[in-house]
Amino acid sequence: MTGRHRKNLSLTAKIAGGLLAGSTLASTFAVAANANTLPENVEAAGKTTAVNATALHAGLVLDGLTTAKKDLAREQDGSDQTDVAAEAETEAEEQVGKSSATADDFIKKAKTQLGIREDGSGKTKFQEWYSKTGRAAETVKRDGGSLKSYLDAAWCNMFVSWVAEETGTKDTVGQDAWTIAHAKWFKEQDRWGTTPKKGAIVFFNWQGEKSLDSIVHVGIVTDVDGGKIKTIEGNTGNAVLERDRKPSQIVGYGYPEFAS
């Protein structure tokens, strides 16, 4: 039984008690009315006692009814508060998928990886991490290949995915190993455009082509400086490095929904 059900039972008992008291009051008034049929030699003191008892019963009944009304009002207030709490919970559920991290938080985490390079076999921690994720199992099913194949794959998008994992933003940044699929994911969610923004995920084609299917590389926008876009990228020069990119090299941007 929930707390609210217990409260409702309690309130029902109180109201029932008030009704019982009301019945008692009616009986008391009936007794008082019948007092007129008593012998005339009943002492005045006895009559006074009967009247006082009647008044006492009446007062108790009125008090009981008042208390029941107050309890009912409190229960209604509690219901209202429960409704407000439920609405708040629903609103919180609607926020699932939206980030609690800011664009600055996202960029700051990415910059902690500056200078990390491939080892002698061309591998990084980002490939190793991605190959073990549930998302990797999903993308293998979509694209074919095997989980092991990610260990030797281009890792620019795995780096972005790793930063999203570390900052709790994967639901809004997205996670993938294939840049084209990642860009199309943003497009499908109507979070795609050609305006540079800090924290945006930027997709490139070095020949200046602008179709999503021509994308060959991805990074994170860290700043916009006049005609240049400052980025941090994985798998550029076999490392995580900062770059200045020209708008002509950019296919477009995916826009995560970061906190303000």
Digit-coded pLDDT (tens) for 75-90:
455 544 545 555 555 4
Digit-coded pLDDT (tens) for 112-150:
999 999 999 999 999 999 999 999 999 999 999 999 999
Q: Which residue has the tokens 């941090």?
A: 232
Least confidently predicted of 3-12, 100-109, 175-184, 250-259: 3-12
Which band of pLDDT confidence, cut at 50, 70 and 90, is reported for residue 226?
confident
Distance CA 159, CA 151 (A): 13
Angle between helices 3-34 and 44-94 (to 10 degrees): 160
Check whether 230 has a pLDDT greater than 70: yes
More confident residue, 163 or 9: 163
Interval 226-255 mean pLDDT: 96
Is there a contact between 136 and 155 (Cβ–Cβ < 8 Å)?
Answer: no
**What's the pLDDT score for residue 260?**
87
Residues 6+ apart with CB under 8 A from 192: 183, 186, 252, 253, 254, 255
Query: Alpha helices of 95-178 — where are they, by DSSP H?
Result: 103-111, 125-131, 134-143, 156-167, 170-173
Which band of pLDDT confidence, cut at 50, 70 and 90, is reported for residue 228?
confident
Digit-coded pLDDT (tens) for 12-59:
344 344 433 344 434 433 433 443 433 444 344 444 444 444 444 444
Residue 128, CB-side half-sphere exposure with 13 Å CA sphere: 7
Is there a contact between 149 and 188 (Cβ–Cβ < 8 Å)?
Answer: no
Check whether 210 has a pLDDT greater than 90: yes
